[in-house]
Amino acid sequence: MAAQDAYEQHGLDRIILVPAAQAPLKPNDMQSALADRLAMLQAATEWDHRFEISDYELRKGGISYTIDSVRHFRACYPHDHLYWIIGGDQLPKLHLWQDIVELAQLIEFIFLERPGHPVREHPDIPGLRLLRCDGHLLAINSTELRNRVRRQLSLDYFVPHKAIVYIKEKHLYLENHG
């Protein structure tokens, strides 16, 4: 939904979804296997021409620094105006991002406010360009979704149906499973 909101509000040509191999600021975040994460994303978006999926970070492996991905996409699309879509809860952490000053020169950020994390101040980073996306504020996070699976609660209306089917078929996020 966040991707759709950004796409519509900012008149984007397309959105490339980039699953991270390992987010540097979330080292203990429990994740499913890379192949499963990619398959769930494909199942959730395969019907929607607005979204593409890049497995660049998954193929690269290791910690996924945004600057590396942005350099990659800048090389692939040298004439395009690039945006990076983030949750507003990431704004106070932007100064911690790898090579943030260079990153701010290469792309423009679109941020979405998240429930419980109102954006009151913007980070003071040279050249930082921020666009706000007034989308649907959803109080959903990956930890909550994994807990719902473990507690055998429905994922309906939280996750696209085809991704739910994949999660059930692969028995993901249950105790002692990926």
Quick: pLDDT tens for 139-149: 677 778 888 88
Is 178 a domain residue? no
147-176 confidence digits (pLDDT tens)? 888 888 887 767 777 787 888 888 888 765
Closest CA to 23 of 71, 58, 70, 51: 58
Residue 14 has pLDDT above 60, yes or no: yes
Closest CA to 108 of 39, 10, 29, 31: 10
Which residues 6+ apart lie within 8 Å of 146 measured at CB? 30, 173
Is 176 a domain residue? no
Number of domains in the chain: 1
Q: Could you tell me the pTM of the whole model?
A: 0.76
For residue 105, what is the DSSP state?
H
Find the farthest-apart pair of alpha carbons in the chain and give their distance in angstroms, rounded. Answer: 48
Q: What is the mean pLDDT of residues 113-138?
A: 81
Contact 85, 110 (CB under 8 A): yes
The predicted structure's pLDDT at residue 115: 64
Q: What is the mean pLDDT of residues 112-122?
A: 75
The predicted structure's pLDDT at residue 27: 55
Closest CA to 166 of 40, 35, 19, 42: 40
Residue 27's domain comprises 2-169
Return mean pLDDT, the chain.
85
If one counts every other C-beta atom within 10 angstroms of the C-beta of residue 103, the result is 22
CATH number of the domain residue 42 falls in = 3.40.50.620
Is 9 a domain residue? yes
